[in-house]
Amino acid sequence: MAIKIAIVDDDEGIRASLAAMIGRAEGLKLTGHYCDAETALKEIPKHPPDVVLMDINLPGMKGVECVRHLKAALPQTQFLMLTVYEDSDSLFNSLRAGASGYLLKRTASARLLEAIRDVHEGGSPMSPQLARRVVQHFSRPPGEGEAEMAKLTPGEREFLDQLANGYAYKEIADRMKISIDTVRSYVRTVYEKLHVHSRTEAVVKYLRTEGGR
């Protein structure tokens, strides 16, 4: 089945360009494109997409807040932020809101298409420079976070280990011989126990604790 995509960006030219790119790509289908967060919040839940390409600097409600609302309503939808900004605050706020990836708008079309497929499969696409900022931001002294890690069941810990090794959700289900619904249950419980809101935060917290090394 085609990956369903929605676009939220106030720049008409960028929306048209992204829509054309998706229209030409094999295995992708555009479900809608919206010029502001308010319209997106109203329309996107009517036809839930698999992936939303979200601009950060929208008029009115900003993209990060839009993601926070939509993620609560559509927990299975993945959000890929597109922005001209490389600042750390925008990056971390997006991840905390529930975004799974963060790319600059100047990213080449081929890389963006790859990122859409990646985020749909459970990945967290971002540039190496931004990924390095995430690791630095969430790094903590050895041993800190052990109490949270101790709350994980053996199954949750194995799931998190698979996640840290870069496997997509479908691959994790196959490797652990469990259903994709069980994987999604692990996502919810692991996020809750570790007090994180994204795959990236969960993996970094795991790798930076004594138990995750």
What single letter denotes the amino acid at residue 154? P
The answer to whether residues 41 and 67 touch, using CB atoms and an 8 Å cutoff, is no
Residues of the chain with CATH 3.40.50.2300: 3-132
What single letter denotes the amino acid at residue 138? F
The answer to whether residues 180 and 190 touch, using CB atoms and an 8 Å cutoff, is no
| Site of tokens 């959700």 | 169
Residues of the chain with CATH 1.10.10.10: 139-212
Low-confidence ranges of the chain (pLDDT < 50): 210-213
Instruction: Return the pLDDT at 213.
Output: 43
Instruction: Return the pLDDT at 137.
Output: 63
CA 86 to the chain's CA centroid: 17
Assigned CATH topology for domain 3-132:
Rossmann fold (3.40.50)
CA separation for the pair 198, 180 (Å, rounded)? 18
Instruction: Return the pLDDT at 130.
Output: 73
Instruction: Return the pLDDT at 40.
Output: 97
CA separation for the pair 213, 211 (Å, rounded)? 6
Looking at the DSSP bridge assignments, the partners of residue 33 are 7
Smallest Cα–Cα separation from 53: which of 89, 17, 96? Answer: 17
Sheet with 28-34, side-by-side order of all strands = 28-34, 3-8, 51-55, 78-83, 101-104
42, two tokens: 């109203």
Instruction: Return the pLDDT at 212.
Output: 42
Instruction: Return the pLDDT at 139.
Output: 58
Assigned CATH topology for domain 139-212:
Arc Repressor Mutant, subunit A (1.10.10)
